[in-house]
Structure 1
Amino acid sequence: MKKPDQTHQRHSWDAGRWRIDRHLRSWLLEAVRWMIGPWRRVEDDADRAAGSRPLNILVFQYDAALGSVIAATPILESLRTAQPGSTIVVASSGIAYEVVKYNPFADRVINTPNPYSAFMSTAWWILRSLRLAQKWDCVITDIGNAKTRLAVLGAITGAHRRIGFTAAPSLYHIPLHRDPQMSVMRDNLRLPAALGLRSEAAEPRVFFSQYEALAAETLLSQHGLTDAAGLTVFFTQTSGGQPSRWYDERFAIVADHLATRHDSAIIFGGTRGERDAIERIRSLMTRASINIAGDTKTVSVLAALLCRADMAVSLDTGPMHLARAAGLPTVVIAPAWQPAYEWLPLGFDDCTIVRRNEIPCAGCRKFVCETRECMDEITTEEVISATEALWLRYPPSPLRRQERTARSLAARREMTNAKG
C-alpha cells in the first residue's frame, strides 16, 4: 500500500484551517455589525461638539513599533489640553505600554492581555472590566492601531462613538483614512478634531519614574560615566530593512572623531540582539567605547539615559524618536526611500537630518535595494560636520541634562495590570 504523503496532508489541513479561520473571522465581523447595528448612529453637530462636557475617553494603544507609538503620544496631550476635565484611559500592552505607562496626560494606563496573541482573553477582559465598569463616550485608535480586531474590541466596549483609523470602517462612527500628504504625527492629531475638539500641535513625550532615572544613573556609574565631560549615544542598527542601514566603518570614523575632538564618551545603544553588530563597529574604532545594547532593559530606562546624554547620532529608527521625545540634540542619518515629512523631525534647531533628497530614486519605498544610493552617498564628512554644528549650538551642559530629566520625570502614580 502506498504510504500517504504526510507533507501533502499537512498542507491540505493548513489550507483548510486557513479557510475556516477566514470564514470564522468574516462571520464574527458580521455578527458584531448585527449586534451593534441598532445602536450605531452618527451624532449631529451639536452632539459632536464634545467641548461642552467632560468625556470618558478610551484609547487603544497596542502598536508594536516603538517609533509609531512615540509618534502617537501627542494625541494624549492634545486631548488633555482640549478637555482638562475629561477622563482619559489607555488600554495597552507590550512595548506600547512601556512607552505610555507614566504619561501624565492619561488618568489611567492599563496593561491588558495582548489582542494579537490572546484576542479572546482581551475581549473577555474588556467586556468584564471596561464595558460593565464604566460608560465610554468614545474609543479612539491611531494610525498604528488601525486593525480589524481592535475595531471589534472597540465595539465590545459599548462606546457611544468609535473614532479613528481603522481597517473596518463599518464598525466606526467616524472612520479616518491615512492622509499621505501629512506626517504620521500630524495625521494622528486629526483625532481630537474628529471629536469636535480643538487640536493643538504637540511634540512626542516619553516619561519615566524616579526608579528608571536611578537605573540609568547606575548604569552610567558602572561604566564610570557619571561625570563624563560629554556623552554621545549612537544607534547604528535599524529594523527598517537593508536600505536604511549605513556602514560600520563610517560609524567608527564619526565616533572616533567625537571621542578625539571633544573627549566625548561614546555609548552604543540598542537591543540585546544587536550587540554583535555593534561589536563589529567597535572593533574598527581606535578610541574606547561602550556597548550597552540590551542593558537598559526597558524603554523608560533608555529614555532616562538619553536625558543624561549630550548628543545622539542615529539612523532613522525607533530610538531616534525616543531621543526626540527626550529633547536630546540628534543627528539623523536617514534614507530617502520614503518622504522625509512622514517620520523625520523636520525644522528643529536641535535636530539635523543628513539625507539625500535629490537622487532620482528618492521615494522608491523599496525594502531591498541593490545600489543603496541614498545611504551610500552620505559621507562621514557630512555627518561629522552636522555633529560639529550641533556641538557648537548645544555644548555639553549638566544644567541641560538636569532640565531634560526634570521635564520627563513623571509623578508617582498607581499602575493597573489587567493580566492574569
Structure 2
Amino acid sequence: MPTSLSPLVIRFGRLGDTLLLQPLLRRLHARYGRPCRLLAVGQYSVELYREQPDVSEVIALRAHHRPFPLSPEQWRAVHALRGMRQVPVYVCEPQPRSLARIRLLLKLAGVADDHCVFLNDMPAPPGSHWIEHLLQLADATPVAFRAAFGAVACTTSATPQLLVSAQERAECDQWLMRRQLSGHPLVLFQPANKRTIRWNGVRAASDDDKQWPVAHWARVAAAVHAQLPDAKILLCGAPNETAYLESIRSGMAQPGVEVVATELPLPRLKALLAVAHSMISVDTGPAHIAAAMGCPLVVMFGSVSPAYWMPRSGVPGMVHVLGGPPFNRVDAIAPDEVIDAWRGAPVRVAPATSAPA
C-alpha cells in the first residue's frame, strides 16, 4: 500500500453544491497526502477548481443523465475511472437518480465496492450543516484502505476557501478598467437562482420561493446609492438571465446600476468577489462563492433551511442570513430588513488574496 494517494471525489451537483465540497477536498488532501481528483458536471467545476491546491484534476461531464449509447463523454469517464481503481473513492451524491448513474459508472470501470464510501450510507449529524455531513464522510475510510489510512486523522477548516490566481486578478482588474468601474465601491446584486428562467421565460413568482419583487430590489438599490453615492451596483447572473436583470434595472431610478450577466465567467466572478464592497443575493451558488472569498454578504432564503445550507465565510460576521422556514418565501422578507442587514455588515479591510493551508 503506498504512503500517499490521490482520492477520487464524485458529486453531480450545481455550482453551490460543488463549491461546498472544498472543505472535504482539503480534508482528504491532508489525510492521503495528495490532491484529490474530482468527477463532477459542468464547465463551472473545471473553472472553480482550476489552480486550487486540493484538486489535481477535474473530469467534468456535460449531461450525466443521457443514455450511454448517446454519451461518449460518459464512456470517457469510465475509461478514466479504470485508471483509478486503486484509489479511495468518496461519493458525495445525495440524489437517487444521479447516485444510480454513478454506481453504474463505477461498476463499468471495475471499481471495487470496498474502495468506495458513500455519503448516503452515513446519517447526517442532528442539526448539522451540509459541510459537517461531508466532513463526516471525509473522516471515513474505505475498507480496502483502512490498514494504511484508517488511523490517519486530520483537523482542517470547515469553511470553503478559494485562491485567486495572479492571472485571474489581473484579468479582472483590466475588465474593471475597461468598464470604468475601477475606484468605485462595487455592490453586487444576485436576484436570480437556478429556477428563475424556464424554457418559456421567467418562472411565475408563485412557483419560485426565491423570487424577490422588483420593487424591493429597487428600494435596496436606492438605499445603497444614498449611503454610497459613488458605488456601482452590478446585477449579476447567468447570460440567460440578462433580460430578467434588465427588467430589474429598468425599475431602478438611481444611476450607477449595470447588468453584467454576460461578462462574468466564473474566474472573473471569483476575482470580483475578492474585491467587491458587498453582495446581496438570494440563496444560490454565487452567494457561496462570495462567502468563500470573504465578501460581506446578505443572503435571502426561501423554503430551504439556512441551518443546513447557509454560506460560510472564513471572516467572522461576513454572512448575514434572512428568511427560511417557517416563512418559506423570500418575498416575505421586507426591503428594510435587507437594508439594515447590509448597513450592519462589517467593512471589508482588504481584498481576499489567498487562503490559509
The residue matched to 1:189 in structure 2 has which SS? helix
The letter of the residue matching 1:70 is: L
- Partner in structure 2 of residue 124 of structure 1: 75
Structure 2 Cα separation of the partners of residues 256 and 103 of structure 1: 38
- Partner in structure 2 of residue 407 of structure 1: 354
Q: What displacement does 1:290 show?
A: 1.0
Asked if structure 1 preserves the Cα contact closer than 8 Å seen for 2:38 and 2:59, the reply is yes
Structure 1 Cα separation of the partners of residues 36 and 191 of structure 2: 36
CA 1:356–1:100 in structure 2 vs 1: closer, same or farther (change >3 Å)? closer
2:118 corresponds to which of 157, 164, 168: 164
2:243 corresponds to which of 269, 276, 291: 276
Aligned-residue sequence identity (percent) comes to: 23
Asked if structure 2 preserves the Cα contact closer than 8 Å seen for 1:56 and 1:136, the reply is no
- Partner in structure 2 of residue 329 of structure 1: 296
RMSD, aligned CA: 2.8
CA 1:100–1:87 in structure 2 vs 1: closer, same or farther (change >3 Å)? closer
Q: What displacement does 1:190 show?
A: 1.4
- Partner in structure 2 of residue 235 of structure 1: 190
Q: What displacement does 1:268 show?
A: 0.8
- Partner in structure 1 of residue 99 of structure 2: 147
Q: What displacement does 1:134 show?
A: 5.0
Q: What displacement does 1:162 show?
A: 1.1
- Partner in structure 2 of residue 66 of structure 1: 15
- Partner in structure 1 of residue 321 of structure 2: 353
Asked if structure 2 preserves the Cα contact closer than 8 Å seen for 1:269 and 1:291, the reply is yes
Say yes or no: does 1:252 pair with 2:201: no
Asked if structure 2 preserves the Cα contact closer than 8 Å seen for 1:113 and 1:121, the reply is no
Structure 2 Cα separation of the partners of residues 268 and 140 of structure 1: 37
Structure 2 Cα separation of the partners of residues 105 and 234 of structure 1: 30
CA 1:226–1:87 in structure 2 vs 1: closer, same or farther (change >3 Å)? closer
Structure 2 Cα separation of the partners of residues 109 and 214 of structure 1: 24
1:194 corresponds to which of 123, 132, 140: 140
- Partner in structure 1 of residue 310 of structure 2: 344
Q: What displacement does 1:271 show?
A: 1.0
The letter of the residue matching 1:89 is: R
Structure 2 Cα separation of the partners of residues 340 and 103 of structure 1: 27
Structure 2 Cα separation of the partners of residues 382 and 127 of structure 1: 50
How do residues 18-417 of structure 1 correspond to structure 2 at under 5 angstroms? 53-63=3-13, 65-83=14-32, 85-86=33-34, 88-94=36-42, 95-111=44-60, 114-117=63-66, 119=68, 121-122=72-73, 124-131=75-82, 133=83, 135-143=85-93, 147-155=99-107, 156-159=109-112, 160-165=114-119, 175-177=121-123, 181-195=127-141, 196=150, 197-198=152-153, 200-228=156-184, 230-240=185-195, 242-263=208-229, 264-288=231-255, 289-296=257-264, 298-335=265-302, 337-345=303-311, 348-355=316-323, 361-362=326-327, 374-390=329-345, 393-395=346-348, 397=349, 400-401=350-351, 404=352, 406-407=353-354
- Partner in structure 1 of residue 147 of structure 2: none
- Scaled by the length of structure 2, the TM-score of the pair is 0.80
Structure 2 Cα separation of the partners of residues 221 and 334 of structure 1: 34
The residue matched to 2:218 in structure 1 has which SS? helix
Q: What displacement does 1:61 show?
A: 3.6
CA 1:113–1:242 in structure 2 vs 1: closer, same or farther (change >3 Å)? closer
- More helix per residue: 1
Structure 2, unmatched stretches of 5+, are 142-149, 196-206
Asked if structure 2 preserves the Cα contact closer than 8 Å seen for 1:58 and 1:139, the reply is yes
- Partner in structure 2 of residue 414 of structure 1: none
Q: What displacement does 1:242 show?
A: 1.0
CA 1:261–1:91 in structure 2 vs 1: closer, same or farther (change >3 Å)? same
Structure 2 Cα separation of the partners of residues 287 and 81 of structure 1: 50
- Scaled by the length of structure 1, the TM-score of the pair is 0.69
Structure 1 Cα separation of the partners of residues 312 and 49 of structure 2: 24
Structure 1 Cα separation of the partners of residues 61 and 240 of structure 2: 26
Structure 1 Cα separation of the partners of residues 299 and 79 of structure 2: 45
Structure 1 Cα separation of the partners of residues 283 and 46 of structure 2: 22
Structure 2 Cα separation of the partners of residues 59 and 81 of structure 1: 14
Q: What displacement does 1:53 show?
A: 3.6
CA 1:226–1:346 in structure 2 vs 1: closer, same or farther (change >3 Å)? closer
Asked if structure 2 preserves the Cα contact closer than 8 Å seen for 1:136 and 1:157, the reply is no
Higher-Rg structure is 1
CA 1:157–1:90 in structure 2 vs 1: closer, same or farther (change >3 Å)? farther
Structure 1, unmatched stretches of 5+, are 1-49, 167-174, 364-373, 410-420
Q: What displacement does 1:362 show?
A: 4.4
Asked if structure 1 preserves the Cα contact closer than 8 Å seen for 2:6 and 2:35, the reply is yes
CA 1:408–1:270 in structure 2 vs 1: closer, same or farther (change >3 Å)? farther
The residue matched to 1:244 in structure 2 has which SS? coil
Count of matched residue pairs: 324
Structure 2 Cα separation of the partners of residues 294 and 321 of structure 1: 20
Structure 2 Cα separation of the partners of residues 102 and 117 of structure 1: 30
CA 1:303–1:408 in structure 2 vs 1: closer, same or farther (change >3 Å)? farther
CA 1:117–1:251 in structure 2 vs 1: closer, same or farther (change >3 Å)? same
The letter of the residue matching 2:104 is: V
Asked if structure 2 preserves the Cα contact closer than 8 Å seen for 1:269 and 1:293, the reply is yes
